[in-house]
Amino acid sequence: MRWGYGELWMFLAAGGVLLLAAAGLVAGYFRRRRLLRRLGTEAALARTLRARAPGLRTVKGVLFLLALAGLLAALLRPQHGGREQLVRQFGLDLVLAVDFSKSMLAEDVVPSRIQRVRQEIARLLQMLEGNRVGAVAFAGDAIAFPLSNDLALVNTFFRNFDPATMRPPGTAIGRAIRKSQLLLQDVDRPATKDPKAAPRPKDDRARIVVLFTDGEDHEGDPVAAARLAEQELHARIFVVQVGELGGSTIPVRDPVTGEVQLHHTRSGEVATTEITPQIEEKLRQIASSRRADQPDSADRYYLRLGARDSAADEIVAEIRRLRRTEMEAAKVTLYDELYWVPLIPAAALLAAEALLPGGWERRRRRRPERTPEEGSGKTPPNEGGQP
């Protein structure tokens, strides 16, 4: 037999509860005897208060302690036997890459581009339960968070970054795509550290990158990086273009004073961000909408996220079309629960303790009658208050 909650501190806690209960019963016994000595002789007061025999009180206390021990044993989950069962999990490997360049502070999308992305990611993660999700935050460089089933940590990762303080500045979409590719490749590496271990066999499970950006790229060749990820990993790349058509200024909040000022270029001019047709075309080339094997998917991988647009529903709808393959298989040991074995006797003992005289019922306090041997000759006070 084993215990489901078999940690040492749990057994110590259960033993402590039993000791406290026993100490409480003993303390109550001696407290009652002290009170009886103060009020008069024990024999007289026992007859007056109709007290139960000491042996009966002892039996009731023992029954209560045994019942409590049974309840505590049931809470520790006694278990028996053990059979192995193979448990499989199925899902997708997905990386969210978010642009944290200063242009994402533009407020052409309410409340701002980056805040709108955070809202959409929180909604998207709620719809991706059961899948492994990684994260990449990028500006001039890219910072990665490995794939995890804990989607709350992924959401927290993105909330720890701010475009106003992201270093180095700039926008490197190609670097973000390569970092996302590395995260997806790490999943395929064997868990062992043995250099002679064979790599995991390639499978055709879906690997997805979702890129949130306004499209202003300052370095590299993101289209080539996207094609490489598609060729090596067969990854699908969704591009979510954030912002509205037209120009917008970039408000930046000073981290020290909290004052909001417009971002300026090195030449001193007010910086603006604008989504042009050229930017849109480049983002469409990055997206997997141009895959040769899916010529009819022109609008399935390139999405807009504006003031009234939402991308999460369309992304999840497309994800559900993709094949979900086995992510993990593990043997788990299942045990038969035996909590009912101590629980049933404990319930019976509690019922017996309650049925004994002086059980759980609330007794009406009665005024004790005076016995002849206790008479002191004093007249009791007039309860009516009359002379």
Say yes or no: domain 88-189+202-332 is CATH 3.40.50.410: yes
Q: What is the pLDDT of residue 362?
A: 43
Q: What is the pLDDT of residue 18?
A: 92
Q: What is the pLDDT of residue 87?
A: 60
Q: What is the pLDDT of residue 367?
A: 47
d(CA 188, CA 17): 50
pTM: 0.58
Q: What is the pLDDT of residue 137?
A: 95
Query: What pLDDT tens digit does each residue of the chain (387 aa) get?
Result: 888 888 889 999 999 999 999 999 889 888 877 876 776 665 665 655 554 555 677 888 899 999 999 999 999 999 988 777 766 655 788 999 999 998 888 888 888 899 999 999 999 999 988 788 999 999 989 999 999 989 999 999 999 998 877 888 888 899 999 999 999 987 655 544 554 444 444 455 678 999 999 888 777 789 899 999 888 888 889 999 998 877 787 777 776 776 777 777 677 777 777 788 888 888 988 987 555 555 555 467 889 887 667 888 888 888 877 755 545 555 677 888 888 999 999 999 999 988 887 644 444 444 454 554 444 555 455 544 444
Domain boundaries, the chain: 2-77+339-361, 88-189+202-332
